Every structure is written in C-alpha cells, then in structure tokens.
Amino acid sequence: MSLLKLHLLGSPVLRQRSPELAGVDPETQRLIDDMFETMDAAKGVGLAANQVGVAQRVAVIDADGERFAMVNPVLVTTEGRATAEEGCLSIPDVFGDVARPERVVLEALDREGRPFRKEVGGLIARAIQHELDHLDGILFLDHLSPLRRQMLLARWRKEHKDDPSYLKDVEPETSRSG
C-alpha cells in the first residue's frame, strides 16, 4: 500500500462528476486500500477517489466505528434534516455548518464487488453524503450561504497565494475531517 497525494481546492478533478465503474477489479481494490491508508494518515472520516486524483465513483468511510468502501454508491432514500459542522481533507482548516438529510439508505458495491445496502444516521450518514457530493464534483462549501462561502474562499486564497500548487503530501497528525 502507499500514501496518495491529496488534491486541494483548485484542482480541476474535484469539480468533475466521476463516472461509474463497470465493476471491481484488482486495480480498484488497490486504489481502495491506498485510499484507506491515506485517509487514516490524514485522520479523515471519509475520502473520495477524486480527492486523490482518480475520477472514479469510489469512496471510503471510517466514522462511528464503521469502516467500509463504496463503489458506485447511490442514495436510495433520505429522511429528516440536521445541521453540523463539516470540514474536508481537500480544504484544510476550513469549516462550516452544513444542513443535510439526517438518515440515508445507501446502496453500493463493496471492496469485493458485492452489492450491499446500509441504513444509517448521524455522522456516518453525513460522511456518506459528503463523499457522494465529491463524486459529483460538489464541495461542502457549495452548501453554505453565498456570503459565508465568499468569506471562507477569500481567506483560503489569501493563505494560499504563495502556494499555487493543489497537491498535498499526506502527513500524520492533521485535524480529522472528511
């Protein structure tokens, strides 16, 4: 396994809709294993493949004691509404309150290519929706009010004006976010 480089805000792949996979092959499984390792090192609760530069509908989750990969994930139903603070490994040190459905029913393929279904709420449901957004080229910033978003983006640009690169090596001991 190996640590992958994170793509940060500004990387075009974060704004693309990632296409479905025909199935899970050994290459996909290697990607999943590397994504788990990268997410762990970055102390994230979730990671989508385009965050490591791969435009495929693959994501991994480690939240509330549940750890799983999802390939071609789809939300079958959503229910309720809850607001909580979110962050993103692709937008370090930026946080904002995001309202989302509180409970979801997820269908996806697992690491072995087997279909599974999951009914979850709380942090896992939030993490799943955050990662599914990534696969559609959506960032949590897009859910904030325009004013709040512009404020955070202005601060981000100021802090990154001397560092135009959008690739980041993952090092241990960063804050835990998705």
Q: How far is the CB of 128 from Ni ion (least distance, A)?
A: 12
Which CB sits closer to Ni ion, 32 or 88? 88
Longest dimension (CA), the chain: 46
Q: Is 131 a catalytic residue?
A: yes
| CB of 5 vs Ni ion, minimal distance in Å | 15
CB neighbour list of residue 69: distance below 8 Å, 6 or more residues apart:
32, 35, 36, 58, 59, 60, 61, 110, 111
Catalytic residue among 85, 112, 131, 173: 131
DSSP string, 56-74: SSEEEEEETTEEEEEEEEE
Q: C-beta of 63: minimal distance to Ni ion in Å?
A: 12
Strands 58-63 and 103-109: unpaired
The minimum distance between CB 79 and Ni ion, in angstroms, equals 23
Which pair of structure tokens corresponds to residue 74?
């789809």
The contact mask relative to Ni ion for 25-64 (x = CB under 5 A, - = no) is ----------------------------------------
Report the residue closest to Ni ion, judged by CB: 88
Site string for Ni ion, 72-111 (x = CB under 5 A): ----------------x-----------------------
Verify binding: residue 125, Ni ion, rule CB under 5 A. Answer: no
Instruction: Return all residues near 104 (Cβ < 8 A) that are at least 6 apart.
Output: 75, 77, 78, 79, 119, 120, 121, 125, 128, 129
Q: How far apart are CA 175 and CA 97, in angstroms?
A: 17
* Contact residues: Ni ion, CB under 5 A: 88, 178
Residues identified as active-site: 131
